[in-house]
Amino acid sequence: MRRFLVVFALLSTALAMSAKEAFPPTPAGTSELKTLPAGVLLQSSGRGNYFDGADNLFGPLFRYISKHNIAMTTPVEARVDSAAMFFWVAESERTKVAGNEAGVEVVTVPERRVASRGERGGYSRANFERARDLLLAWLAARPDVEAAGAPYGVYWNAPYVPPFLKRFEVHVPVRPRPTVP
């Protein structure tokens, strides 16, 4: 319990200080296509799945940004089944990134096109799966794009935000659907 409270306090402080968003959120109850900017992300990986290991994933990332005085940017990305958490680094903070260290890998990502489903609710596997299923059904009905990767979670709020106010998204990388002659 003590460990949870420490992680809760650290995450709350980090997200409260966060002033920048890496990209605009998708409104709750909406599915859309959007382009995410190229960026630098800090990655922490673990065992199991994201929902079982989020506390262990957050610690190395928080220590890294604290050590290098990097302002946290929202949202946090999460690879659910492979237990990975990613913090975006604001463009103005990138000179502070000091390379890989102590459980944190620096990852550079190109601009990405994704299908996105915005939702409100607690950060749980059940809510992730419900939003994922709605997004995949919406995507399957589109004639112009198809899935090009696995769904992942995108989380906007600190743990102390009441579940009914929390915003999250599920993203699926997409590519143009091949045309059939």
- 103 in any annotated domain: yes
- 181 in any annotated domain: no
pLDDT for 14 equals 47
Closest CA to 56 of 84, 80, 81, 77: 84
- 162 in any annotated domain: yes
Has residue 19 got a pLDDT over 60?
no
- 124 in any annotated domain: yes
pLDDT, tens only, 144-165:
999 999 999 999 998 889 999 9
- 117 in any annotated domain: yes
Name the domain count of the chain. 1
Q: CA dist 177 to 95, 120, 138, Å?
A: 38, 30, 14
pLDDT for 72 equals 84
pTM above 0.75?
Answer: yes
pLDDT, tens only, 23-57:
999 999 999 999 999 999 999 998 888 888 767 88
- 46 in any annotated domain: yes
| Residues of the domain holding 17 | 2-176
- Of the pLDDT bands very low, low, confident and very high (cuts 50, 70, 90), residue 179 is confident
- Of the pLDDT bands very low, low, confident and very high (cuts 50, 70, 90), residue 181 is confident
Helix (H) or strand (E) holding 138: helix 125-140
Pairing of strands 145-147, 105-109: unpaired
CATH number of domain containing 10: 3.20.80.10
pLDDT, tens only, 79-127:
998 899 999 999 999 999 999 998 999 999 999 999 999 999 999 999 9
Tokens of 14: 């980090």
Has residue 9 got a pLDDT over 50?
no
- 105 in any annotated domain: yes
